Amino acid sequence: MTLTSFRRFMAKAAILLQMAVVVLFVSCGGEVSPQELAAVSAKGYYEHLISGEYEAYLSGVNMADSLPEGYREQLLTNARQFMARQKDEHGGITGVSVVGASTDSVAGHTNVFLLLSFADSLREEVVVPMLEVRPSEWRMK
């Protein structure tokens, strides 16, 4: 197993673990809406980004597993550069929280609103369009 395939495997395992937590919550009697599932997934992908787990973050992009290797590497480089820029400009991103989520029936996706917290106490809200690729499995559009 190569390092790249191992990282992809670990990224998928992390996503499955997050989904297992949601399933456990549901099995304990809680009702989880599709918007909540999308929000948990989006937050998890951004937590991977913040932790420098770029393969795991990229695995959250819709159809990432079928991208040409050169384009995949470019997206990983972009994620690294984005985080380096945030570190230079704001001391880095220190956390992410869910503000809300809403379904856009016209566009066919769910918008998740995340609040990014930076080391310099700045906060920024971002919108992450999410697609349900399989029942209860969400990816970033």
pLDDT in the model for residue 1: 64
Q: What is the span of the domain harbouring residue 105?
A: 3-140
pLDDT in the model for residue 2: 63
What's the CA dihedral at 31, 48, 46, 14 to 10 degrees? -20
Determine the length of the chain.
Answer: 141
Both tokens assigned to 95:
């956390």
Q: Does position 15 have pLDDT exceeding 90, yes or no?
A: no
CATH number at residue 121: 3.10.450.50
State how far the Cα of 100 lies from the Cα of 120, in Å rounded to an integer. 24
Which one, of 92, 101, 90, lies nearest residue 42 by Cα?
Answer: 101
Q: List pLDDT tens digits, range 18-34.
A: 555 555 544 555 788 99
Q: List pLDDT tens digits, range 81-135.
A: 999 999 999 999 999 999 999 998 888 899 999 999 999 999 999 999 999 999 9
State how far the Cα of 112 lies from the Cα of 20, in Å rounded to an integer. 20
Q: Please give the tally of structural domains in the chain.
A: 1
Roughly how many angstroms between the first and final C-alpha of the chain, as a whole number? 29
Q: List pLDDT tens digits, range 51-75.
A: 999 999 999 999 998 999 999 999 9
Residues 113, 107 contacting (CB under 8 angstroms):
no
